[in-house]
Amino acid sequence: MSVVEPPGHLGGLDLADRCNTPVLADLLEERDLLGHGQLIDGTLTERDTDRVRVAKFIAAHPEGTPLSHVVSYAVKGVSPEACERVEGSDPDYQFAYRFVDDLVAPEDPYVQKSRSSGVLMVTPTLRLLDLITEGITQTAHQNEDQTYDRQFVRNYLKRVDSVDDDLRDLLVDSFTSYLNRIEDYRLLFDVHFVGRTGGETTRRMTKRYKTRFNDEGRVSKQFARFNDALEYGYEYADNAVLATFTTDPKQHDSLLAAINSINENFNRLLSYFDSDPSTKDDTRCPEVRNWRPDLDSDVTGRPRCRPNYIKALEFTEKGYPHLHVLFFDVPTRESDGMPWLCDKQEIAKKWNDYGQGRIIDTYPLVYRDDLDDLDANFDTDEGFVDWYRFGDHNHGDGWVRDRTRAHDLIEFDDEGQSMESTAGAYLGKYLSATFGSLLDATESFEESKEELNSYADKAATWKLALYWASNRRFWSCSKPITKGIDPDDHLQDLSVREAVRWCSLDSTKAASEQEIRDDLARRQWDDIADLEAAIDRAISDVEQPPVRSTLPEKSTFSCVIDYLGAYAYWDIPNNEFFHSTQHLDTYPNSTHNDENISIFDIETD
């Protein structure tokens, strides 16, 4: 099979074609592989759109494809013959080259690069193919039964402004019906093993239909990442502000519109925080008056930066969305050193102008690494606690009371218990109940409706269904925190990985580089470029036959993966029958024969 054929000639293309572009964009944004991410109106920049196309194009060519073809087809949208030039000086080539470098992660890459006859080739790894399958939100043979539940609920949410008992029942019924259905589904692939000397062997393989709602590993991983994000804040931030952003249902056409808009408006608010109007005085200064609507043109309390944050989306008993956001390392007020995100009235005015709501709460916090010396019982040893009550200051209770009249004091009490909690525990209380109920849901899909509703109030099944129907995340964090907690994301057995590195040719070269550099640097050079070139040549000479002989032999075969669709396991098509036609839609009554099909589970997390 030629690697230079245009899109449409490779069976692997169907895998990428079935991937929902907005969902894939969201998955790439989660992994910090987009430049800007989704804009306020939900669209992508031109380059981020190109990034999504590049990822899908590479995944559609499991046998590998020249980078120049990626640039031609996925970025420029024309065949290589129609391009005037596709080389290093071309801006589109440089863009694709940098993005491919981002996909070649150091620990667990999405893409591998290699050279064949001087041509730079890019090949997807199983990790990229797994990411693509996550973006497949409908089967290749869609029918009304397979998409009815979610779409019906979405249509219902477009017509109501709150949740009542009838809608709760509908949400539970539709969500549990979805969970039961996907438990029986498998993603089906034909894997063609092609030998270097010719010949082909085909095996049919399956992958469980995993989502964030039925995959125990993914649920546990997300909660672990949330805790890692909190730990990151504990380690690097000195203060914080916990803010709550509510929704006014009267400002929205429907409940779904309110849910869809809250994250977009939050991003608009971050852009407002990040702006720096030099003509306006900073209300953190003692001589500057606090913000009021009539002073909007003269003063502002915005931080003039984009603070790192952890954000959790919650729903009220009426289904209204609201955000709890923990901002880290916000600027402080000069008069008393209190963390000051922004004047509360100013945030409330801006949030209301965006059409979201009027009620905003902000609570200043300070980090304490030893809570044992405080006059309270805490369920943790460290964390962010209320600045007024537990902050580092020398003022008495009267001073604290005076300040709390002007600024809200958060109550970190656990209900029913006489102990205090940190902001992290306060924020995580809802998420722990949510993820806990999801783990319970992954263990059994046959519980009665009463049992499914037995979760803690904040993790009721109908609320889980709102995340499912609106395709909203439970929580998210800013990009610097994402980068801070990602390095160890894919580490597994460290001893094995260290052994592999130690035996690799690259590591041997790396171990030799410093000694070579020190030796050559002692010599006289007229041009520093000559020194660098000599170092490169010396390092490349380390690659000798005795060293290479210790490395494993190169793979003697390649494989092409064709995505066939998502099927209930009893409807997986007969292997022989499937290869007799390209359009299964004309054979709706086909069934498989266990004697003629070989199924191998290739689940990956």
Q: Is residue 78 situated within a structural domain?
A: no
Terminal CA-to-CA distance of the chain, rounded, Å?
30
Q: Are 358 and 350 in contact (CB under 8 A)?
A: no
What per-residue confidence (pLDDT) applies to 382? 84
Residue-wise over 510-547: b if at least 16 C-beta within 10 A, else e?
A: eeeeeebeeebeeeeeeeeeebeebbeebbeeeeeeee
Lowest model confidence (mean pLDDT) among 210-219, 287-296, 440-449: 440-449
Cα 545 to Cα 167: distance, rounded to the nearest angstrom: 71
Q: Tens digit of pLDDT for each residue in 8-27? A: 333 344 555 556 677 778 77
Q: Give 109-118 pLDDT, tens digit per residue.
A: 888 888 877 7
Class of residue 36 by CB neighbours under 10 A (exposed 0-12, middle 13-18, buried 19+) = exposed
What's the average model confidence in pLDDT over 38-63?
Answer: 81
pLDDT higher than threshold 70 for residue 163: yes
| Residue 593 banded pLDDT, cuts 50, 70, 90 | very low
In a domain? residue 494: no
Is residue 528 situated within a structural domain? no
* Residue 87 domain flag: no
Domain hosting 327: range is 216-485
Query: Is pLDDT larger for residue 203 or for residue 143?
Result: 203
- How much is the average pLDDT of 166-191? 84
Q: Give the model confidence (pLDDT) of 513-526 as tens digits.
A: 888 888 888 888 88
Mean predicted confidence (pLDDT) in 134-160:
65
Point out the least confidently predicted range of 205-214, 349-358, 497-506. 497-506
The pLDDT of residue 455 = 36
Quote the pLDDT of residue 352: 93
Rg (CA), the chain: 28
Residue 530 covered by a domain = no
Q: Round to whole Å and give the CA distance between 498 and 522.
A: 32
For residues 408 and 363, the answer to whether their CB atoms sit within 8 Å is yes
Residue 599 within a domain: no
Q: Residue 549 has what pLDDT?
A: 59
Best-predicted range by mean pLDDT (116-120, 121-125, 477-481): 477-481
Q: How far apart are CA 222 and CA 216, in angstroms?
A: 10
Calpha distance 107→125 (Å, rounded): 12
Domain count, the chain: 1
Q: What is the pLDDT of residue 299?
A: 94
pTM for this model (two decimals) = 0.63
Amino acid at 26: D
DSSP 408: -
H or E stretch at 315:
strand 309-315
pLDDT at 2 over 50: no
Question: What is the Cα–Cα distance from 432 to 220, expressed in whole angstroms?
Answer: 10
Residue 372 included in any domain: yes
Is 2 part of any domain?
no
User: What is the side-by-side strand order in the sheet with 309-315?
Assistant: 383-386, 360-368, 239-245, 321-328, 309-315, 475-477
* pLDDT, mean over the chain: 76
pLDDT of residue 347: 94
